[in-house]
Chains A and B, each alone.
Chain A
Amino acid sequence: MDGIYISSSPHFSLSNTTQKIMLCVIISLLPECAAGIYFFGVKSLFLILSSVISCVFFEAVFQKLTGQKIIVSNLSAVVTGLLLALVCPPTLPLWTVIIGGAVAVIVAKGIFGGLGSNVFNPALTGRAFLVISFPSLMGASWLLPNFTRGTDAVSSATFDGITSATILSKIKHGTFELTDGIFQKLFTGERAGCIGETSVLLILVSLVFLLVLRIIDFRAPLAMCLSVFILTFASSITGGMNFTAASQSAVVSLMTGGLLFGAVFMVTDYATAPVTKAGRLLFGAGCGIITFLIRTFGGYPEGVMFSILIMNAVSPFLNNLTARKYGYGKKGSRRAPSPEEEKRFTSAVQEKTED
């Protein structure tokens, strides 16, 4: 017989591949892309395309130059490109996002060993580079969604359209007030912010999609959101707010900024988060706590990006939090027969010895 392969078991596997997983993540990001284009105009589309193309291009070039196999077909660079664009402000010049893409796939990913070996989330590293290098482009002015232009009193005209402060920077500067319909606006995404992060509704849709397909684990996102919620609530209460106001501010803290987007798409990044269940819980909680601290005490209005990058560095250590293995601890001991089984069991012995 010819063409017979010999290999170690198992000889059976799911038809699951890295490429399929990445494709699912890409599909889950499409609603956010569409919303970004709808809210902030066609400029967002160009930003998204530039980001994706630059990530794929730089990854291929890096792999070629370093003599590796070119594996952009696994689509992970596309995911990085999408994520990077979606966490950039819609006013960003195209050349900036292209630089961000290069930093993401070369510095954060390629140099660390490529797919799966990177320590820091590539998209967030790219964004962090842009925030630090071009602070004026990355968040000094924010575009309001198209159809709310002119209706928002705080908005002021600039050369680039109508801009506004984000809710978080308003909170930071103490100018935020709860207005009617604010929750509804946050929910649908009618607010200033990064291209993909504004619509709570669509992010929840993506979350459900990813959870149902078992692409992501609920632990880290849940821990992150819960810890931000609880901490904001507690600090509001201790700050003298009544229960209703404190709960409202806690809900606003969940729905604003990049928290949900980060929790669903960044904290769940495979390579840069822990793999164990307990590790993921703690990782998420850590991200939430640091986000809260930066929002409350830090120099930036939003802390999601830095909190995740900081926790990325800790995540290999968090992998030491493992589950109880089979056969260890209390369960790994004998069980006495139940009274019923014991009764039948002794009678069996007696009858057999009587035989």
Chain B
Amino acid sequence: MSRRSELPLDRIIRGSSVGRIMTRIAFAVVMLIIIAPFFVMLTTALENNRAISELPPVWWPHHNAMDFSVISVRDGLRGET
């Protein structure tokens, strides 16, 4: 039996280490593109109206903006607008 055939099956399927790293990087980019809009949705949900339309965009909501969101959700659940 040749030496190569003695490698674990997952290594055989994955190929060379350079190819593996390139594949991982490309996969990370694809996943980032898939997930990024949801990150925007989540942060938008936690920001106040002024922060939503700010440029450059606010990627991580300020503390008081999160408070504002919590208050909005609480008021919404109570039926108050």
Q: Do A and B come from one complex?
A: no
